[in-house]
Amino acid sequence: MLHLVLFFFLLLPVSVANPPQDDSELLDLKRKVLEQVKIQGNESALEAMDFAPNEEAVVLVNMDIGNGERAYQIEILNKTNKGVKTWIKVRENDPRFKFYEAVDSLSSQTLDITKATHIRSTQNFSGLYDITGSLHFEIPPHLEAPRANCNLEEHFPISLSSDPRASKARPLKVSLVDKRPVNPCPNRPTQANGKPCVKTLPVALPKNSKLRQYILEAAEQVGINPAFIAAMIAQESQFRILVENKQEKEACRDPAKCPKYGWSKGMIQFGRMMSDEYGLDWEPEIPTNIPECNKNGSSDACVVAVDQYCEATFISRDKKPATFCPRQALVGFSRYIKDILERERKIRVKIKDTKKNEVEAVIDLSHIINEKPADQLRYAAGDYNRGPRVDNSIEQYFQQKGTAPPHFGHTWAVRRNPDETPSKDMGYRILNNEYINRCYVWNIAGLCGNQFPPNSLATYYSKVFAKKKERKK
């Protein structure tokens, strides 16, 4: 986990018109903060300051102040106010902010304000600001927000084009405000370099093979279509039991560059956190002394050898199985995919009420997406590959069109509104710059239509696992 480095800047925030909070709210916030936090210095230095939409901030303190409200001490990460610290009051379903559990590109938006470690403002807001820069807050350890996977020095918002350090950021392949029409359902989509997506060939699973047996067992235990499991693993790892992401692993030689999930291991390509959540131990090194896996990393001989290794090393010693243990890994992966398939698809959007006033609302689109099995798998694959960017794109599509996307392809084809300048962090990117995602999902289940395309992995493995109908006597 990266160490959170805090920087102090002597920048005064830029004032904005029409502050959304009045002084009584801020005075109440000030009183409640001082009830729990000791302060060194003159408390009168805490004055009201106003901030604009699209501010991004790390949450330094996340404190319960009663009545379903919380006090956050935040540090602004972008734009003119970078480095500014302020206290704000937030509440559940607060329309002024989006809340995140991490700052890295894999972060998830959350509606649980107790878990937020980062926020992004969607409206004007006000906070308490130390105008002298001399106050010292003695924060009890239990009030400090969890330190997320980030380094503030390496946070380069796209909107911060005037910051000289922004030159280190990787330039985007496609403009965020590019309004050229995009075909949401190409027969063969393209990569970022304009070349057609590389086709992933399916891996055969013979009738009596160990992997086929384990997939069927896991699917039956969890209650999921075995073809979904097989299609996604074929795309992820081609069923290579002892594979690991060497590029991610190499980056982790420098602890400062190693994300909190570590690197992807095993045929299910789980990182540290996912492994722990689904009953697997990520920490053991991938074994290199199993010769049966040298020629064919998905053969029965390799599976049996790794099974024996896992039994002797973990299972017989009452230890959690490692992420690369095939039988247990497939159960964990199946549980994870089922959780994605069944999860809520809540988005926060602006809609017109009965009086034609624009209001913010939280809408669950699960019933629309899940009514089409083909799209259900596409969205699950998109989630697995690109996390919250999928929901961000659904939200963007709904905001522009007023309805859910007809198919997954329409989700990535939508362009961001030109008046929005999002960060490349905080999980707020959408899919139109994630070319690899459309190739990934296309290989597994296609991009559009109510059926899987004939050449997709889902179609291939649906045939592999199809139950033959018994002949009538």
Reported as a single tens digit per residue, the pLDDT across 342-352 is 888 888 877 77
Lowest average pLDDT, out of 72-76, 122-126, 194-198, 418-422, goes to 418-422
Query: What pLDDT digit, counting tens, does each position of 423-436 carry?
Result: 544 456 677 766 67
Per-residue model confidence (pLDDT) at position 428 = 61
44 burial via Cβ count (<10 Å: 0-12, 13-18, 19+): exposed
Give the confidence band of 12 by pLDDT, cuts at 50, 70, 90: very low
d(CA 71, CA 207): 59
Q: Are 21 and 126 in contact (CB under 8 A)?
A: yes
- Span 452-467, mean pLDDT? 94
Lowest average pLDDT, out of 52-66, 151-165, 228-242, 327-341, goes to 151-165
Neighbouring-strand partners of residue 72: 62, 88
Among 83-92, 253-262, 354-363, the range with the most confident prediction by mean pLDDT is 83-92
> Phi, psi at residue 301, to the nearest 5°?
-60, -40
Q: Are 130 and 136 in contact (CB under 8 A)?
A: no
Per-residue model confidence (pLDDT) at position 107 = 54
* 258 against 150, higher pLDDT: 258
Mean pLDDT, the chain, integer: 80
Whether the pLDDT of residue 392 is over 60: the answer is: yes
d(CA 132, CA 126): 18
d(CA 105, CA 326): 29
Per-residue model confidence (pLDDT) at position 362 = 83
* One-letter amino acid for residue 28 of the chain: D
Per-residue model confidence (pLDDT) at position 255 = 83
* 432 against 163, higher pLDDT: 432
Whether the pLDDT of residue 443 is over 90: the answer is: yes
Whether the pLDDT of residue 415 is over 50: the answer is: yes
The stretches of 20-122 forming alpha helices (DSSP H) are 23-36
Lowest average pLDDT, out of 89-98, 111-120, 143-152, 406-415, goes to 143-152
